[in-house]
Structure 1
């Protein structure tokens, strides 16, 4: 078992990628503390995973007391903390015209500031066991789309934080900090969001080649599988690294032959 006896804190762990990570961690021998915003969903997940291997805490991670509460939950329930997965995210559209101050403050609070504060609160315990942090970013961190301006900025900030802390914390505290940047993932919320935007119920079965050469997008379970390496001792001394989980290169991509023509017609 790759995570035997480890205790992992996962924010945004009630649904989607976070839930998949929690389930995979338990399968690999870990105990988990999951966080989210809907109490009933958290209770159901703990029941599914088993009360002896999972605990939950329903709280908004941007609340000032939240980081300490999350860490204390892990320590009081399981006696230690080996890893933090900063997975919780606020995803919403905005561009140069529509981005307003309250909106971008909330975006940065959830996606950039809260993860930093959680690492800060967890650091003494992670240092004691030479633990690790895994930040869940996005390929949009590299620039993003025109209508994901604020979100892309927040994930770019998270990526810079990973690079910075991955160096300083490993040197000073023995704590590894790494990040994965998933591409388009088929979560429950993504299915619902696209339906609300007017797309057909099974939109994910007909993804254009430009977005998915594999004719499909990622599943949460595939992202969770990739997380195991970074959370396990197999990762060794690797720190301060960012890995993109995408179907195509971010630079030097070979666009379909008919893409340019169809683009000009629009």
Structure 2
């Protein structure tokens, strides 16, 4: 049991990568705070994991005071808090011409400022328990697709936050902060988005080799398996690190041959 007795907040865990991480945490002996915007889906996750292992909190991360309430839920339900997984994110298409300041601010509020607020609110508990933070970014944070401009900027800012706090909090408070950047992952929401963009319902079964050299894209459970290492004590003193989880090098990739 790599996470035995650890209590972990996983934002955005009613579906997708967050749900997979929460399930893997419980399988490894941990207890989790499930969070999201979908009460019915969240209740299903809690029922699957068991009320002794999971508790649900439904609230928009951009709401004032939500970070403090998430920490309070963890401490009330389980008596402590050992780790935070900042997974929740808005994934919306936009470019220079379609992005206004209201849209951009909303993206930064959820994808960058909410993780900052939760780390700050959780710090007393994390410091007391020699805990850690795992931020879930995106390979798009390095540059981004043409129509993921605001999203990519928010994830690039998250990487800088991870580097900065991974140094300062580790030295000053004994709290490690790291980040994993998933590539293309087949989640419920991603399947729906691509279908809405005109692709066939089973589009993920025939992804071009340029995007999926292995013949498929990533599964949420594969991201969850990697997340456990950073949440467990076995990652030791490592902090301030950014790790890409993709099936090809995102930066400096050799262009495909025609």
Please state which band the TM-score falls in when normalised by the shorter chain.
Answer: over 0.9
Asked whether the 8 Å contact 1:209–1:256 carries over to 2, the reply is: no
Cα distance between partner residues in 1 of 2:80 and 2:117: 18
RMSD of aligned Cα (Å): 0.6
Alignment of 1:172-187 (within 5 A): 172-187=172-187
For residue 19 of structure 2, give the secondary structure of its aligned residue in structure 1.
helix
**Which string of whole-angstrom CA distances, capped at 9 and with x for unpartnered residues, describes residues 117-172 of structure 1?**
00000000000011000000000000001110000000000000000000000000
The answer for the alignment partner of 1:57 in structure 2 is: 57
The answer for the alignment partner of 2:209 in structure 1 is: 209
Deviation at 1:190, TM superposition (A): 0.6
Deviation at 1:242, TM superposition (A): 0.3
Cα distance between partner residues in 2 of 1:243 and 1:149: 21
Per the normalisation by structure 1, the TM-score is 0.96
Moved more, 204-213 or 116-125: 204-213
The answer for the alignment partner of 1:263 in structure 2 is: none
**Which string of whole-angstrom CA distances, capped at 9 and with x for unpartnered residues, describes residues 51-84 of structure 1?**
0010010000111110000000000000000000
Cα distance between partner residues in 2 of 1:39 and 1:28: 25
The answer for the alignment partner of 2:107 in structure 1 is: 107
Cα distance between partner residues in 2 of 1:242 and 1:152: 15
For residue 125 of structure 1, give the secondary structure of its aligned residue in structure 2.
helix
Per the normalisation by structure 2, the TM-score is 0.99
Deviation at 1:106, TM superposition (A): 0.4
Alignment of 1:54-133 (within 5 A): 54-133=54-133
Alignment of 1:30-45 (within 5 A): 30-45=30-45
The answer for the alignment partner of 1:264 in structure 2 is: none
For residue 133 of structure 1, give the secondary structure of its aligned residue in structure 2.
strand
Deviation at 1:251, TM superposition (A): 2.7
Aligned residues: 258
Cα distance between partner residues in 1 of 2:100 and 2:209: 34
For residue 213 of structure 2, give the secondary structure of its aligned residue in structure 1.
coil
Deviation at 1:256, TM superposition (A): 2.1
Cα distance between partner residues in 2 of 1:207 and 1:41: 28
Bigger Cα Rg: 1
For residue 96 of structure 2, give the secondary structure of its aligned residue in structure 1.
coil
**Which string of whole-angstrom CA distances, capped at 9 and with x for unpartnered residues, describes residues 173-213 of structure 1?**
00000000000000001111111111101100111111111
Query: Runs of at least 4 residues of structure 1 off by over 6 A?
Result: none
Alignment of 1:10-49 (within 5 A): 10-49=10-49
For residue 97 of structure 2, give the secondary structure of its aligned residue in structure 1.
coil
Cα distance between partner residues in 1 of 2:83 and 2:235: 13
For structure 2, which runs of at least 5 residues remain unmatched after alignment?
none
Residues 1:192 and 2:158 aligned together:
no
